[in-house]
Amino acid sequence: MKSKKKNIFIAISYVILVAAIPATLLFSKFIGNKLTEHIRHTIKNAADLCAELIEQQYENDMLLLESLAVRMSATLESDPQQGIDRMVSTAERYGMKRIAFSTPDGYTITTDGIEMNLAGVENFEKAMSGQAHLTSVISDIVDNEDVNIYSFPVYAEDNQTILGVLSAVYHGDMFKEMLSATAFDGEGYTYIVDRNGDVIINTKHHNAITDLDNVFAYMTRQQQSEEEIALLRSNLKNSEQGFLEIYNEKGSRYTYYLPLSVNDWYVFSVVPKRVAEETKKGVMLSITIYCICISLIAIYLVLSIRQSQREKNRLLKKALYEDTITGGRSYEKFKLDCQERLKTKSKQNAICAFLVIDNFNLVATLYGNEESNAALCRIYDIVNTCVGENGIVCRNGSNHFCIMYFYNELSEIETNIAQFNKMLHESDIFENMLHPSIGIYVVENYEESVDDMVSKARIAHETIKQGRSTIAYYDVSFRNAMYEDKHLEDEMEYALERHEFVPYLQPKYHAESGEICGAEALIRWITREGDIIPPGKFIPLAENNGFVRMLDREMFSMVCRLQKHLIEKGIEPLPVSVNISRQLMYDKSFVDDYYQMMQEMELPVELVQLEITETVLFEDFGLFRSTLERLREYGFRILMDDFGTGYSSLMMLKSVPIDEIKLDKSFIDDYSDQKAGSIIYCVLELAKKLGLPVVAEGVETENQYHYLKQLGCDFIQGYYFAKPMAASDYIGKLI
């Protein structure tokens, strides 16, 4: 589920990345258009500003002239000198070059004392015809300097008769200064054109086109399209404003034109395309860099996520596929490699082997962890060398190795194993204290899972534990036995609930008198089908999974009930012994529990005896002894079962409190053998000296019985007298 989510995430990231490129382009284009719009807007603003300044100036100047004209007209007749003084002071105050007054015949006097005749001069004539007028930048008649001249008619009091013309002469750079208010960091400029396209007021700006006299003529010279020129012409004619590109060798100019309310003038605000584009380019560059950075960050993120995922996968694979100790294959990797090879090598034979270095763990404790790990590495290397190209090897658990080996002749395997033993011996690992054993399964069906193959090799290996050889091949019957065991193990718990476990009783007899003196309770599993399963089949399994404690308790409780039943029936009960498993000895509560059960049934403790074996003594002497002491404190009688088969039977006699010895059947079987005979003799002598009665187990023949009786054995238990029997039969023997 998680990896699915990750894949979706990666797919989305890729889509975003791929989409990022066209999206960036589209976005750039969008921004580009916006910028072009912005540039036009900026130029238009510059044009607006200039127009406003010029119109304002024009209006103010005209108002000034008008008021001067009104005053002049009032004093022209009565006090002409006063008019001239006013002209002088006005010219000075408003920074004009001069003011001139012309009489209708053209005779003119100026504030700087010049006399001339303007008859026939355009602005004079226009004013005389009643039109206020402003010239373009023209040459001063007096000194050829650039000037602009306002002309205004001076009316008589009747407001109809024109008495003369007032002309205000301004320095030509007055308007030019106004035109210098521009945008684009001083790179833009403005000039004024009339409706015919003639440049009225030009600028000396460094970007200005020098040979521009008439806009239409210029555009024609630059071979701009007819349509463009026609559109401009019609727009100028109709007082429309607009945007225009004018070509020039040094680069085109973006222009905005706007009609003025002064004469038929137009403001043309201009910025070289280069400047505008540079501004645009700067912004576009920032945006592109920004987009690229974002994309790079996104790519970096996606790649680093992928990288970290790969790293995680690698570590995961390593953890999954690598054995931490040998650095070689893990079992998972072994399975994968085997599956692969089994597919491709289907025509070859294969075995699956389970190699165990039997006493490795025991020996390893003498050498410590580091040396043990190094030893495992070397063993792994040796196995690998032996199988070579034809095999796949892995370590599986502490001292176990799995091998899949492809061969042509079965004899190759024996040769290989011999070589392995030789190499292991030569390597002298742990001073050659290691004993390898190997279970082999000859693969029959290549479709089988590797797990199954390994478990068959394992089953084969299990048989070695019971035998003595170091190599064992897989046998189907053994597998069936394993399955049967598994079935029994699964069933056990339900069987207990269904009371399928019952005690069989094998009576014990006085050797001397041949009279019955008690019995041993031996468990039987009677299935629903009525089959009797002997303890040898299920007790070892129950010992493995700990269930044996429940079984022991069940036996104890049933024996108690049997004794109680006998008492109630008025039959005198004889002591019956029950078997105590090793596991139960570790259960601290069992002593009190058993005693309490007897108390509750009001049974004398002597009626149930306990048979124990010495295995726990070997494992935990303290526990063993304290448990026995507590049992004896309660009054339980302890029987030492299978005496003589353990490692420390004699030590047991010395160290722990017991009440009776049960001499193992194996001695009785071989009683005629000299050694066995001597042991029986000695045990009986020893027991006599210690004051311990002896029960001989598994007495089957009359000869055995007589032999034992003659040596002074106290009690006899065995088929010669009686086999284990159902409780009812046992009761029959007591009556």
Residues at the site binding ligand C2E, with contacts judged by CB under 6 A = 506, 522-523, 534-536, 539, 548, 551-552, 555, 579, 581, 641-642, 697-700, 717-719, 724
Query: Least distance (Å) from ligand C2E to the CB of residue 600?
Result: 21
Could you tell me the maximum CA-CA distance found in the chain, to the nearest angstrom? 186
Contact indicator for 347, 405 with CB cutoff of 8 Å: no
Give whichever of 6 and 537 is closer to ligand C2E, judged by the CB atom. Answer: 537
Neighbour-count burial for 329-354, b at 16+ CB within 10 Å, e otherwise: bbbebbbbbbeebbeeeeeeebbbbb
Give whichever of 173 and 611 is closer to Ca ion, judged by the CB atom. Answer: 611
Give the one entry of ligand C2E, Ca ion, none that residue 555 binds, where binding means its C-beta sits below a cut-off of 5 to 8 angstroms depending on kind. Answer: ligand C2E
Nearest to 350 by CA among 416, 406, 414: 406
With 0-12 / 13-18 / 19 or more C-beta atoms within 10 angstroms meaning exposed / middle / buried, residue 412 is middle
Give whichever of 384 and 717 is closer to ligand C2E, judged by the CB atom. Answer: 717
Return the amino acid letter for 154: V
User: By CB under 5 A, is residue 641 in contact with Ca ion?
Assistant: yes
Query: Least distance (Å) from Ca ion to the CB of residue 692?
Result: 16
Query: Least distance (Å) from ligand C2E to the CB of residue 346?
Result: 48
d(CA 190, CA 47): 7
d(CA 322, CA 330): 5
Which residues make Cβ contacts (< 8 Å) with residue 567, sequence separation at least 6?
573, 603
Give the one entry of ligand C2E, Ca ion, none that residue 660 binds, where binding means its C-beta sits below a cut-off of 5 to 8 angstroms depending on kind. Answer: none
Contact indicator for 254, 40 with CB cutoff of 8 Å: yes
User: By CB under 5 A, is residue 323 in contact with Ca ion?
Assistant: no
d(CA 102, CA 108): 4
Give the one entry of Ca ion, ligand C2E, none that residue 506 binds, where binding means its C-beta sits below a cut-off of 5 to 8 angstroms depending on kind. Answer: ligand C2E
Which residues make Cβ contacts (< 8 Å) with residue 412, sequence separation at least 6?
none
Rounded-to-10 torsion of CA 332, 336, 338, 341: -160
> In this chain, which of 173, 614, 642, 714 binds Ca ion, going by CB under 5 A?
642
Residue 64: phi, psi to the nearest 5? -60, -50
Query: Least distance (Å) from ligand C2E to the CB of residue 612?
Result: 10
Give whichever of 614 and 641 is closer to Ca ion, judged by the CB atom. Answer: 641
Contact indicator for 183, 207 with CB cutoff of 8 Å: no
Give whichever of 454 and 663 is closer to Ca ion, judged by the CB atom. Answer: 663
d(CA 312, CA 268): 68
Give the one entry of Ca ion, ligand C2E, none that residue 552 binds, where binding means its C-beta sits below a cut-off of 5 to 8 angstroms depending on kind. Answer: ligand C2E
Candidate segments 80-88, 141-149, 503-511, 638-646, binder of Ca ion by CB under 5 A: 638-646
| SS3 label, residue 58 | helix
d(CA 291, CA 452): 59
Query: Least distance (Å) from Ca ion to the CB of residue 500?
Result: 21
| SS3 label, residue 385 | helix
Nearest to 278 by CA among 501, 585, 2, 35: 35
Name which of residues 593 to 632 contact Ca ion (CB under 5 A).
611
d(CA 623, CA 612): 13
Candidate segments 351-359, 489-497, 554-562, 695-703, binder of Ca ion by CB under 5 A: 695-703
Query: Least distance (Å) from ligand C2E to the CB of residue 520?
Result: 6
Give the one entry of ligand C2E, Ca ion, none that residue 536 binds, where binding means its C-beta sits below a cut-off of 5 to 8 angstroms depending on kind. Answer: ligand C2E
Give the one entry of Ca ion, ligand C2E, none that residue 186 binds, where binding means its C-beta sits below a cut-off of 5 to 8 angstroms depending on kind. Answer: none
Query: Least distance (Å) from ligand C2E to the CB of residue 698?
Result: 4
Give whichever of 284 and 526 is closer to ligand C2E, judged by the CB atom. Answer: 526
Query: Least distance (Å) from Ca ion to the CB of residue 450?
Result: 44
Tokens of 205: 């700006």
Query: Least distance (Å) from ligand C2E to the CB of residue 725?
Result: 10
Give whichever of 25 and 650 is closer to Ca ion, judged by the CB atom. Answer: 650
Count of residues near Ca ion by CB under 5 A: 5
Query: Least distance (Å) from ligand C2E to the CB of residue 677?
Result: 18
Query: Least distance (Å) from Ca ion to the CB of residue 537?
Result: 16
Query: Least distance (Å) from ligand C2E to the CB of residue 433?
Result: 33
d(CA 21, CA 709): 107
User: By CB under 5 A, is residue 552 in contact with Ca ion?
Assistant: no
Tokens of 256: 């905005």
Q: Give, in order, the Cα–Cα distances in Å from 662 to each of 69, 187, 526.
A: 156, 122, 27
Give the one entry of Ca ion, ligand C2E, none that residue 523 binds, where binding means its C-beta sits below a cut-off of 5 to 8 angstroms depending on kind. Answer: ligand C2E
Candidate segments 60-68, 463-471, 600-608, 689-697, binder of Ca ion by CB under 5 A: 689-697
Tokens of 27: 């976005």
- According to DSSP, residue 137 is labeled S
Give whichever of 187 and 611 is closer to Ca ion, judged by the CB atom. Answer: 611
Name which of residues 276 to 295 contact Ca ion (CB under 5 A).
none
- Residues binding Ca ion (CB under 5 A): 579, 611, 641-642, 697
